[in-house]
Amino acid sequence: MKRALVIGASGGIGAALSAELEGRGWTVEGLSRSRDGLDVTDEASVERGLGAVQGAFDLIFVATGALEIDGAEPEKTIRAVTPKALTDQFTLNAVGPFLVLKHGLHLLPKDRPATFAALSARVGSIGDNGIGGWASYRTAKAALNQLLHTAAIELKRTHKQAVVLALHPGTVATDFTAKYAGRHKTVAPAEAAKNLIGVVERAGLEHSGRFFDYAFEEIDW
């Protein structure tokens, strides 16, 4: 039976991912800040939390993240950008998932296929950015994409059958996006989870280190 570890398992997408995987017959373990005290912005917390997990996992999926941190909303203009907002976004949305990978490497098997996936966002694409705004969040997700791409290159040497994916889930109807969905079409968390796990199950070694949306369409860096 396949095993999955979902980080951010108490959130809207994380909980839906856990349910979708269980429905497909996977054994799922989950960690979250609210339930387990796992703070992905604190390396000691990540090391401690992942150090307590036993065994190997066929999938580690990081479903953490935030659009607003400490009341700082996505910026509409350059004037709204602050060093704190930039740093907070980078720490949570880029550093956090990478710390999970750093301290979760021992949970990825070296003798069989495995996947490490993290939620990115289309707005993190530099090539797809035609309207500007949201500087801090965009920058953090672009940084996450680079970190995952870089990690995939290294894992080709250490975990030869591992796949690393940056995934855009679409606009999911959760508390995370409630204020910002606007005219964007939204999908329920359960549908987003089904789509994302579908991508994970289809992705092969040739897709490692790349950036895909929920329909398995590649997104420009």
- pTM reported for the whole predicted model: 0.95
Residue with tokens 């080709």: 156
* Average pLDDT over the chain, rounded to an integer: 95
Domains along the chain? 3-213 (3.40.50.720)
Buried b (16+ CB within 10 A) or exposed e, 163-175: bbbbbbbbbbbbe
Contacts of 79 by beta carbon, 8 Å cutoff, 6+ apart: none
Query: What's the pLDDT score for residue 186?
Result: 85
pLDDT classification of 182: cutoffs 50, 70, 90: low
> Does the pLDDT value for residue 176 go beyond 80?
no
Please give the structure tokens belonging to residue 215: 């329909």
pLDDT classification of 185: cutoffs 50, 70, 90: confident
Contacts of 38 by beta carbon, 8 Å cutoff, 6+ apart: 7, 31, 32, 45, 46, 49
Query: What's the pLDDT score for residue 175?
Result: 67
pLDDT classification of 190: cutoffs 50, 70, 90: very high
Query: What's the pLDDT score for residue 162?
Result: 98
